[in-house]
Amino acid sequence: MSTRFVPLLLSLFWIACSDRQDANPFDSLLQQPPYASWTQQIEKDPKNDSLYYQRARLLFENQQSEPALLDLKKAWSLRPTPEYALARLELLEGSPATQFQFLQEAQRKFPNNFLLELSQATLLNQTGSVDSALSITTRWIQAGQSEAELFLLHAALLDKKGNSFEAIRVLEILHSHLPQDHELAEMLALRYAESGNPKIFPLCERLQQLDSMGRDATPHYYLGIYYANKQQRSEATQAFDRAIQADHNFIDAYIEKASLLFESNAYLQAAQVLDKALLIAPDHAPVYYWTAKCQQALGDRESAKLNYLKAYGLDNSFLEAKRAADELK
């Protein structure tokens, strides 16, 4: 079963659709290319759910979300399928109660469906029912299901339970199944870095081998995080420098290097690093935050307050910057 249609629904708002069997309000659009051929087929075979679904896919591809949603609902009403259920669940994103209600309906029609249960576990995780979600992911993993999304969710749930060691083990199993997945390898490398796990060295070496052009900064960055967590500041700084050399725009490497210098009381040098970062990312809140910390440490409270507020203005969730600014009143 293809599930490629489902991710397209993630960015859409829920549109309330009527159950009335009246004329489609987008008839004029649907009579035009590239939808006209599908519309003609639907007119000849109005009970064919797959025709509505295929037209919905085409509508979504062309940013026509509202008529696509009507077609999807029509397809479901004609013949409920797990595929249509997954699509409708995504449409209801942002309304957990409505999602749960429809999920229960879909699961009554399709009991023990893996993808529906994975959606249930995801929703339970989002609403804070970690134990219930974990019971679902555990059961499916024990049943031999090897879907990457399942392992990733299971690892995230283990993290929430404070079991980072087991979470890493789950990611290692997934990586062994998907050794060529670069994003997954990077995710695992970061976990190794944060936990001070020496397995980071062969993994980063492998990532560097795959980078024939020498432009991938992430292996150096992860090694920098590892060394920083081990309090090996000289090695960490060198690793962040290599990351910047590989990718001059890798803003996180500048910030990590500046934070190391700050922790070493090298406030002026840290501020100089942040000046370079500001040229690259003038709207990046953490740059202003760390600049403010350096200014505050150097005694320039007025400039520090302005930059704390600038960081908070760029990112209203950056409450630490707001508190720091308030303390400088």
Count other Cβ atoms within 10 Å, centred on residue 309.
18
More confident residue, 87 or 23: 87
Residue-wise pLDDT for 89-135, tens only, equals: 776 656 788 888 889 999 999 999 999 999 999 999 999 999 999 99
Q: What is the pLDDT of residue 11?
A: 38
Predicted confidence (pLDDT) at residue 18 exceeds the cutoff of 60: no
Residue-wise pLDDT for 53-79, tens only, equals: 999 889 888 888 788 878 888 999 999
* 80-87 average pLDDT score: 90
Local confidence band at 31 (pLDDT 50, 70, 90 cut-offs): very high
Q: What is the pLDDT of residue 24?
A: 76
Peptide bond connecting 179 to the previous residue in cis, omega within 30 degrees of 0 = no
Q: Could you tell me what percent of the chain has a pLDDT over 90?
A: 75
* 21-37 average pLDDT score: 84
- Is the distance from CB of 81 to CB of 53 less than 8 angstroms? no
Domains along the chain? 1-93 (no CATH), 270-329 (1.25.40.10)
Q: Could you tell me what percent of the chain has a pLDDT over 70?
A: 92
Whole-number mean pLDDT of the chain? 89
Q: How large is the angle between the packed helices 233-246 and 251-263, nearest 10 degrees?
A: 160
Predicted confidence (pLDDT) at residue 237 exceeds the cutoff of 50: yes
What residues have CB less than 8 Å from 293, skipping those under 6 apart?
A: 262, 304, 324
* 229-250 average pLDDT score: 95
Predicted confidence (pLDDT) at residue 6 exceeds the cutoff of 60: no
Report the candidate in 238, 290, 286, 240 with the shortest Cα–Cα distance to residue 266. Answer: 290
Residue-wise pLDDT for 287-321, tens only, equals: 999 999 999 999 999 999 999 999 999 999 999 99
Burial of 10: CB neighbours in 10 Å, binned 0-12, 13-18, 19+ = exposed
Q: What is the pLDDT of residue 323?
A: 95
